[in-house]
Amino acid sequence: MTPAEPTSESAFYSLEHERPLADVVSVIEEFKRGQQGTTGYAIELAKLEKKLDKLKQKVYRKLTPWERILICRHARRPHTIDYIKHITDKFIELSGDRLYGDDSSVIGGFASIDDVKFMLIGQEKGSDTESRMERNFGMSNPEGFRKALRLMKLAEKFRLPIVTFVDTPGANPGLEAEERGQGWAIANNLLEMAQIRVPITVLIIGEGCSGGALGIAVGDVVAMLEHAYYSVISPEGCASILWKDSLRRQEAASALKLNAENLLESGLIDHIIPEPLGGAHHNPDLMCTRVKHFILEKYYELQTTPTDSLLEQRYAKFRSMGRFCE
């Protein structure tokens, strides 16, 4: 379910670092209501909008790692469901892991994008209280990872390229998930994805946290949206472990080097997909268009690579990650 649209433009500027923008937008809205049709209206409005544009450039040019995480977690940020809805011509959802049940935190199925057939698989957090509870806030259980792998095997059978959308604060840490084999399910996905004989494109569209993210993130191309993050642990979790104080999350966010440009420099991802100014939620249509173009671009690149070479390159890609010092 899509959240209700904000009652005013200023509602889009709800984060702490956006407060100066919200103030200017409120002035513009008030000016439009009270001065429309008066002498000099267009000139004054143009001045205010120019001031807003300059302030946007100033605010968004100096974002800290923590402020970018807040953008990544914004309630209105597009989720997997939104991308599927806007970039596919047709989507047929498939359910269940054939062992225990269906995990609604993982969505997957057959899709066509500009008449090219894909298997799309992604993590879904939900968009309101009811759907977030239903989807466990995007924290998958073992059956979610097994469901994802079942669909990947199906894609391999029918020679369909795979696209995965990563957006999770981590795998479900609950006792029942562990009893049903959470660790094994994630580890098995890593093993099997390394050997899937069709191209795999991974898109980190929001939070990419811990094994919950990595469980569907082994691929030939790994890309991140500009304000997404990808890390072994959340900043809050890191701060709690290192300093016994989760309030030091801003410090942890900087130390973890979890932003897209850090990961690109380290060789952990291959591409960064730029977001609209202020984040994907400010222009979801543009963000969906960019993601669609990226998926198709990589599809046409990867389809020319022989399968054996694809698997060798995929293995080498992940085998070469990390730096070792003696």
Specify the CATH number for the domain of residue 135: 3.90.226.10
**pLDDT, position 40:** 80
Query: How far is residue 306's CA from residue 98's CA, in Å, rounded to a whole number?
Result: 32
**pLDDT, position 5:** 53
**pLDDT, position 274:** 97
pLDDT in tens, 77-87: 999 999 999 99
Note whether residue 4 is domain-resident.
Answer: no
Which regions of the chain are under pLDDT 50?
Answer: 1-2, 4
Query: How far is residue 112's CA from residue 127's CA, in Å, rounded to a whole number?
Result: 24
Q: Please tell me whether residues 25 and 118 are part of one structural domain.
A: no
Note whether residue 28 is domain-resident.
Answer: yes
Q: Please tell me whether residues 274 and 251 are part of one structural domain.
A: yes
Distances 138 to 20, 122, 239, 302 between C-alpha atoms, Å? 32, 10, 22, 29
Note whether residue 325 is domain-resident.
Answer: no
Question: Exposed (0-12), middle (13-18) or buried (19+): which is 130, by Cβ within 10 Å?
Answer: exposed
Query: How far is residue 196's CA from residue 307's CA, in Å, rounded to a whole number?
Result: 9
**Domain range spanning residue 205?**
69-319
Q: Please tell me whether residues 184 and 309 are part of one structural domain.
A: yes
Q: Please tell me whether residues 110 and 55 are part of one structural domain.
A: no
The total domain count for the chain is: 2
Q: Please tell me whether residues 218 and 267 are part of one structural domain.
A: yes
Note whether residue 249 is domain-resident.
Answer: yes
**pLDDT, position 113:** 98
Q: Please tell me whether residues 54 and 85 are part of one structural domain.
A: no
Cut 0.85: pTM above it: yes
Q: Please tell me whether residues 132 and 18 are part of one structural domain.
A: no
> Residue written as tokens 């400010």?
282
Query: How far is residue 167's CA from residue 230's CA, in Å, rounded to a whole number?
Result: 9
Note whether residue 3 is domain-resident.
Answer: no
Final residue before a domain boundary, out of 21, 38, 62: 62
